Chains A and B, each alone.
Chain A
Amino acid sequence: MKKMIKAIFVLSAILFLVECKQEIKLDLPNNGQVLIVQGEISTQKDTSYVKLSQTVSYYSTDIIPTINNADVRVNGILFKSKGNGIFMPDTPYVGVINTVYNLIINYNGSTYTSSTLLDEMFDIDRVDSVFYPAGGSGPGGPGGGGPGGGGRKEGYAVQFFWTDTRTPPKYTYMRIGRTTLEILQDSFLRNIVLMDNSVTKLNTQISRELPRHYPHGDTVTAILKSCDKNMYYFLQAYQMQTSNAPGPFQIPPANLPTNIIGGAVGYFSACDVRSFRKGL
């Protein structure tokens, strides 16, 4: 009897705590394609671009098609197709702080428009690294343990310091790369760090530790960009919808918000950029 009780005891606990998944086939409607816009005006020279692509049906194994035959203009300046759906200006181009940028896309008989403000970024004062010995709990990552990892492995955390003097609310998002970062491809890690200066101290040097630990020899790169409120909410929704948190913690599925008018989805953002690299 005691053995039986013990077995059921353990079994119940495990069954209760572990959620499971099983593949299912959905009978999906076949809808038309929708234009995807990704546009970024940057204060970094010649990195501003607009990228156009289209949706595919959910179960399609086709490569997501890019659009190269659209007419794309930002504040009247023509962005020409460079292939792979990317449109860039031919002449040297640098975004200007406190400027409103207006995007107009004419494609397939339809017009899509958007507007955004280029806000100033704060400057980074310095970047440090901190060594954490093995043991205890803490942030996970390539060199760390973290939740589920059974304790932290030894590794380095990266801290950066800044002083924000901008009048709140100002929004920033940060992308973190481990060894290299290709700016045009936005190859940031999955967790985008969003910051709102209305919740942090102003005119005081403050610091932040990147949410991962790295082994000796790695180079950590971070890019910080200012953005307007629309882009901030867009990224927030993007993170929530792609957070892969199914089960009881899943938020209601919804299409991402967009500041593109005319029936397309995606975003058009303008940013002031700061970045740092730290060898460990």
Chain B
Amino acid sequence: MKKIFLFIFVLSSIVSFAQQKKITISGKIKDASTGEDLIGGMLFVQELKTGVQTNTYGFYSLSIPAGKYTLIYSYIGYDKIEKKIDLSSNQTINIELKESKTELNEVVVTADKPDAKNVQQNKMSVIKIDIKDIKNIPLLLGELDIIKVLQLLPGIQQAGDGSTLFTVRGGNVDQNLILLDEAVVYNPSHVAGFFSVFNGDAIKDFEIYKGGIPANYGGRLSSVLDVRMKDGNSKQYGVSGGIGILSSRLTFEGPIQKGKSSFMISGRRSYFDLFFPLSTSIPSGASAYFYDLNVKLNYEFSAKDRLYLSGYFGRDALSFGSSSSLTFGTSWGNASGTLRWNHVFNNKLFMNASLLYSNYDYNYQIDLSATNNFSRINYITDFGGKVDFSYYISPKSILKFGFTETNHIYEPGKRVPVTSTSNVIEVDLPLKNAIEQGYYVSHKMDVSNRLNIEYGLRTSIFSNYGGRTFGYQTGAPTYIDNGRVNSSIITDTINHSSNQIYHTSYGIEPRLNFAYQINSRSSIKASYNRMYQYMSLIQNITASIGQEFWTPSDNYIKPQYADQVAFGYFRNFKENTIEASAEVYYKRLQNTVELKDNAIIDFNEAIESQVVAGQGRAYGLELFLRKQRGKTTGWVGYTLSKSERQADGVNNGIWYPFRYDRTNYLTVVLSQVLSKRVTISGNFIYGTGEAFTIPIGRYQLFDASQPQVILYGTRNSARYPAYNRMDISLTLGRKQIPGKVYKNKSEWIFAIYNVYGYKNAYTIDYEMTNGVPTAYKYYLFTYVPSITYNFKF
């Protein structure tokens, strides 16, 4: 017994001694010119060959033994700062880094740190992009669009030519969690999906997780796109903006109290409807526009407390008819708000607490006559909050934990007559309500110099309450007859009291990432994650024009979940200037929500009778090679993949290709700095055509004056012609006299989207042309030139 006590005493003494000797350095890394937090900024201790990077709020903490050290602070695109310190007590060191002039005018998609992060970090399937590094990439209509940049990366593919909707590793377009300053963005699209809601001038950076998703994220199966707004320049006032062919944007930012608080306000407005009269195919009296506004304020109360308030408001409108006689009009928009409090409890414990609000509403109005008119309104509104803690145990061990709770309110439909003379009666379907909760803990640790691991667990709970549900004749909302999915007859209506929870679903979501560094230039990585998703986007046309809506899982629609495993080999060349990776993944999806054939989704309260639970599988190989430094930069991405779906009653229960399954997807992005003023850039995309259902016959109903009906064969058994496109741009900077310092910046960007005008199929349709059955491909964009003038002063 004495020996045991002696052992414990000695062990305790060693641990205590070791702990007493640890000193913690903490603080923030910021941009010297704007005061913006630098997310992923790096602190490296030269003598110990160890380091840490700032979290998503710019905060870092590192505990090391007392002694004399050389601290190196760095961030990609910024000059390093070396600082020698004699560390004898805990210290707060805030560092401001200056932007490196040599990096300007280069297209750089960066990792979190400029060194060997691609090899060293345990993260895989994650790409972080700084907004200022992608401004030269030629994009549709000259609009800087982060989602379209993402679509140039392996594993991420566009859902239709020019669309901002995207799929990740074989997932659906609604399986991507899109966050703007932590608030959910339910519809990332403007103008039927051709523009995203993200104004490049208001965005600081963004990160996308295709796999290995950390435990602090949940709610979607396939990816997380985490977008952060600029905080606003806390050093000086500034104006920036851009004038484009179809839209323009303007941003103001500056300090409220210098060094303590700042603001940023950024707006954007389209004006392409001004050109409608030039086109004979546009109905007279048509109107279409979008606008959006980003606002952010922040205030540093003390060295330990900082408050952020940010908001987004955007709207689309499309109408036909005159102002005095509207025939059809639709509008939709997102609004979000985030109130965030960062608090540093001590040098080791950091907290972020947020109050969040999101709203997506969509409505349309039909006004055909005094007696036949109505408007329809739908929306989803979220109120919630989250608290996240980061505990920096040691340089090799970080613990993260937290919780989130969101109250979702779904308006399935409200129909209101526009005039009192309308024959249409007012109907307001009962709201659907749910509370979603998530609790997580994750631990990141360096097991050895070569092996590091991050493991975590998330528990999600989804509770439906209030509203109204139905009982069905067959006990289920659908049944299969004659090989097809049919809707059951409603036999019962159950009204729930406003706070009554009538159904609860749970999900246990383990997460794991690990990396083993073979040597300083190469490593192998692996990841596993299970994700739960408790709501689905119901949409039966490709375009995003406000007809789609979100619906929760409930007592009939089961929550979707997915398991994904991925393995990767990462290798850097030429002192990390060239990064290469090869990743393979396998993803299994369960309870996917598939629309039955000819689903009736508009104003249908019993939406469960129009969908069927399916399953999916997706697997693939992703190769990525990129060069980040020098006059020539860019990357090549290649994906070889397969994605399939299966549902009883659909395609006779046989597995079929997912609509956006593309066997091959190749992207090339290159940028060449020709001089200090001139940069030329180009993109190339090649992808296997989308899957579609081929006709096997045709027949006539009613009489010969009516259109013939197509008889379709196996679902998605055929392919559109292969997709390919090349875009180029030329960036022309301001003339500069050597030696003169310019405070104001400006540039012209000339770009051509689809430079060789290839007619990529958007959809395929069938017509009788002079009595002969004919198939047509419809295409949208060929040779789309654009000019954008950007300025900053």
Contact = CB atoms under 8 A, between A and B. Distances in A.
Interface string A242-278: 1010111111111111000111011000000000000
B773 interface: yes
Contacts of B694: 26, 28-29
Contacts of A33: 697
Given A16-B141, A24-B721, A238-B709, 20 more contacts: A11-B785, A12-B786, A13-B246, A27-B718, A57-B697, A58-B698, A60-B773, A157-B369, A187-B703, A199-B415, A209-B368, A242-B707, A246-B765, A248-B542, A248-B543, A250-B541, A254-B712, A255-B712, A256-B709, A265-B711
B245 A246 contact: no
Contacts of A238: 701, 709
A143 interface: no
A24 B776 contact: yes
Nearest to B421: A207
Interface stretch (A71-79, A117-125, A147-155): A147-155
Given A26-B718, A58-B698, A261-B482, A17 B245 contact: no
Contacts of A115: none
B732 interface: no
Given A21-B778, A137-B325, A147-B327, A201 B423 contact: yes
Nearest to A61: B772
B244 to A, nearest CB: 9
B284 A147 contact: yes
Interface string B413-438: 00100000001110100000000000
Contacts of B194: 16
A148 B281 contact: yes
A31 B699 CA distance: 13
B780 interface: yes
B332 to A, nearest CB: 15
A58 B768 CA distance: 10
B372 A16 contact: no
Nearest to A130: B369
Contacts of A180: none
Contacts of A251: 540-541
Place the interface of chain A in its size category: 35 or more
B404 to A, nearest CB: 34
B301 interface: no
Contacts of A188: 702, 706
Contacts of B193: 248
Interface stretch (A48-56, A96-104, A219-227): A48-56
A91 B757 CA distance: 65
B275 A13 contact: yes
A8 B338 CA distance: 40
A22 B776 contact: yes
A262 B484 CA distance: 12
Nearest to A257: B598
A18 B783 CA distance: 13
Contacts of A157: 369
Interface in A116-164: 136-139, 145, 147-151, 157, 159
B327 A138 contact: yes
Interface in B135-157: 141
Contact of A199 (B286, B424, B701): B424
B773 A21 contact: no
Contact of A18 (B281, B324, B763, B764): B281
Contacts of B781: 15-16
Interface string B353-369: 00000000000000011
Contacts of A218: none
B539 to A, nearest CB: 10
A85 to B, nearest CB: 10
Given A15-B782, A58-B710, A209-B372, A246 B763 contact: yes
Contacts of B721: 24
Contacts of B423: 200-201, 206-208
A64 B693 CA distance: 22
B16 interface: no
B284 A151 contact: yes
Q: Pick the most buried of B425, B543, B697, B777: most chain A CB atoms within 10 A of its CB.
A: B697
B366 to A, nearest CB: 11
A181 to B, nearest CB: 11
B272 to A, nearest CB: 6
A38 B597 CA distance: 20
Nearest to A246: B765
Interface in B305-327: 320-322, 324-325, 327
A53 B703 contact: no
Contact of A19 (B276, B320, B709, B762): B762
A236 interface: yes
A165 B372 CA distance: 19
A94 B759 CA distance: 56
Contacts of B764: 24, 26, 246
B773 A59 contact: yes
B160 interface: yes
Given A14-B278, A26-B718, A188-B702, A58 B766 contact: yes
Contacts of B698: 55-58, 64
Contacts of B779: 19-22
A250 B322 CA distance: 26
A200 B371 CA distance: 11
Contacts of B597: 252, 254-255, 257
Nearest to B415: A199
Nearest to A54: B699
Interface string B721-752: 10000000000000000000000000000000
Contacts of B543: 247-249
Contact of A5 (B713, B772, B787): B787
Contacts of A187: 702-703, 705
Q: Pick the most buried of B246, B695, B784: most chain A CB atoms within 10 A of its CB.
A: B695
Nearest to B288: A17
B763 A247 contact: yes
A13 B696 contact: no
A138 B721 CA distance: 40
A21 B775 CA distance: 10
Given A29-B696, A139-B368, A185 B703 contact: yes
B711 A55 contact: yes
Contacts of A254: 597-598, 693, 712
Given A137-B285, A207-B371, A20 B778 contact: yes
B600 interface: yes
A128 to B, nearest CB: 12
A244 B595 CA distance: 21
A186 B703 CA distance: 6
Contacts of A15: 781-784
Contacts of B409: none
Contacts of A55: 697-699, 711
Contacts of B474: none
A211 B700 contact: no
A155 B584 CA distance: 66
Nearest to A36: B699
A27 B764 CA distance: 13
Given A24-B775, A138-B327, A148-B283, A57 B696 contact: yes
B732 to A, nearest CB: 12
B578 interface: no
Given A14-B275, A21-B778, A250 B281 contact: no
19 contacts: A8-B787, A16-B246, A16-B272, A16-B784, A17-B276, A19-B778, A28-B695, A33-B697, A57-B697, A137-B320, A138-B327, A139-B368, A185-B703, A241-B710, A246-B763, A247-B762, A248-B762, A251-B541, A256-B598
A44 B785 CA distance: 62
A159 B761 CA distance: 43
A250 B113 CA distance: 45
Interface in B509-559: 540-543, 545
B713 to A, nearest CB: 6
A201 B368 CA distance: 17
B507 to A, nearest CB: 29
